[in-house]
Amino acid sequence: MCGITGVYYFDKKKPDLSLLKKMGDTISHRGPDHEGYYRNNEGIGFCHRRLSILDLTDSGNQPMSNENETIWLVFNGEIYNYKELKANLERKGYKFKSNSDTEIIIKCYEEYGVDCVKYFNGMFAFSLWDSKNDIFFAARDRIGIKPFYYYSNDKMFAFASEIKSLHVHPEIIKEPNDEGIFNYLLFDHQIDHQTWFKNIYTLEPGSFLIIKNNNLSIKKFWSIKFDIDYLRSFKSFKKELGKTIIDSVESHWQSDVPVGAHLSGGVDSSSIVSIASKILNKSLDTFSSAFDLGKEFDERKEINIVVKDSKTNHHQISISADDIKNNLEKIIYHMDEPVIGPAILPMYRISELVKKSNVKVVNGGQGVDEMFGGYKPYFSLAASNLLNNFKQKNFPYTELFYFPSYLFKGGTIKRFKNKIFKKFKKNKTEQNWIKGKNIHERIIKGTNVMRNETSNLLPFEKSAYVSLRYYLPALLHQEDRMSMAWSIESRVPMLDNRIIDLSLKIPSWYKVNKGMSKSIFRESVRGIVPNKILDNKIKRGYPTPTSVWFANDSYEYLLELFSDDQFLASKYVNKEILIKILNKQKNNINKNVSFPVWKALVLNTWLKINFSKNE
């Protein structure tokens, strides 16, 4: 896990070392253990900031080259199948000078060319210069665990792990990108390769980029493709999934430094901790956050079950409304551009706790909900899929008995009831909290992008696709930035390539089965994870009590912010309506209507950090 940045000047001028150093220093938190540079007379300048995890010797430092220095690489991430790849390449006659996974990328490129990315199981973003063939080659992992941003014009190409590094370059002007900002306000995340900054783009997950003869091209090497196997049994899928999960957790514990784990009390993180402690016979450090605000936000009961069962050394931190005032500006600085919701607050503080505990790598449970139907709407979607699939072979007709239950759990019946009694219609003024022209057209445009990509899929798979394609990368964005802010490597074992590919083959009625979400995932780890965790139907999902905070501790602070004539986000949001929403939250603390308030708060904070006169 590291920070990478660099430039490619098409006129072949040698990059300035002091500029590369400034670009690298901006992201030094990603790699405080070593800094390295490479420049040549072909216009290439690379900077690498290392967080040493594998092969702690100097032989693992970057930029790294092949033997004759015709290939140079800067790499951020981990290749978990590097030992297998290394053994295969050694049989072909390749020699290695290190025990790092970085060198594997160079050797695989020498053997397979740009197709090397298809062989990597891991999280990665890298840039490679091949002087022999005059090729600049960059790539990003399948699902978007590691970030890669770039700027390009007819004179130069620049890249970095974080946008702030690009803005150090004097030729790259920092300007807000309204299109990217409105994407967040309307959809919670981006729906294309844009960012909140003009002319700064993200290399999309599962893509690689090539520059040859000063011409830039981008291609996909992997995309989300459902290939449902309706003939295969629940038992067969369960057996393969369980074995693959265990193998993935084991591979994600490869490290030459201490490794710990997030523990929320949910099925996902509990599975990782239980497997690591029992199957791998590891003594673990586990980390969580806590809120003293009732069972809706308190997961300590479930956490303690796993801590006791796995005998972990558990660390816990309390999060309060004070974290908004004390830490939000630092958090938004590290985020570069906000996505999703307020879970960044506990993520940031937990990473701080990990750092203070002298643990350098932490594993988390991201991805299971998106792959295996873990969110409430999946119940309704599962019901819809049952109607569409009942003629399939091996169709479980007993699942039809759960049909009414799925409609209820998924909220379909409640929505229908509210519509009948005309409670479904929202207050029109609240819908207009977002300013700007053509808001309705923007919604239609964004929705159509996602709809067109899923036109041939059934309802359950449509939602899973959107979750994997758009929502999950945003969650991973949060995970990466909040951990790297504290120089912590965050790993996600459940997003092993093999688990992702297997999830795309499993029928929806195995994922939501017998009234339980993520059923096949739960059953695949039964016997390892405590039954009280596996049978718990409460879904919290990194709860952050902004509704309670905004109605109490943070109310006056937010009221003053929205009433201020210097409120920076006025171009994008209607602060008068936001005050009405804030007051509505204060008067009804049990109903969360705080998300517009949160979005306006982080947008204003982002504008203050990047564009205020006191910047």
Set 2, 47, 108, 116: catalytic member = 2
**DSSP symbols for 76-144:** EEEETTHHHHHHHHHHTT---S-SSSHHHHHHHHHHHGGGGGGG--EEEEEEEEETTTTEEEEEE-SS-
**Distance between CA atoms of 252 and 116, rounded to whole angstroms?**
21
R_g over Cα of the chain: 24
CB contact set of 163 (below 8 Å; sequence gap of 6+): 149, 195, 197, 200, 336, 337
Interaxial angle between packed helices 322-335 and 344-356, expressed in degrees from 0 to 180 and rounded to the nearest 10:
90
DSSP structure string for 196-234: SBTT-EEPPTTEEEEEETTEEEEEES--------TTS-H
3-state secondary structure 505-545: CCCHHHHCECCECCHHHHHHCECCECHHHHCCCCCCCCCCC
Look up 2 and say whether it is catalytic: yes
- One-letter amino acid at 302 equals E
Secondary structure (3-state) at 437: coil
* HSE (side-chain half, CA atoms, 13 Å) at 187: 25
CA dist 72 and 131 (Å) reads: 8
Tokens found for residue 30: 């990603």
- Both tokens of residue 572? 């994008």
- Are the C-beta atoms of 110 and 151 separated by less than 8 Å? no
Residue 215 main-chain phi, psi, to 5 deg:
-105, 125
The residues carrying an active-site annotation are 2
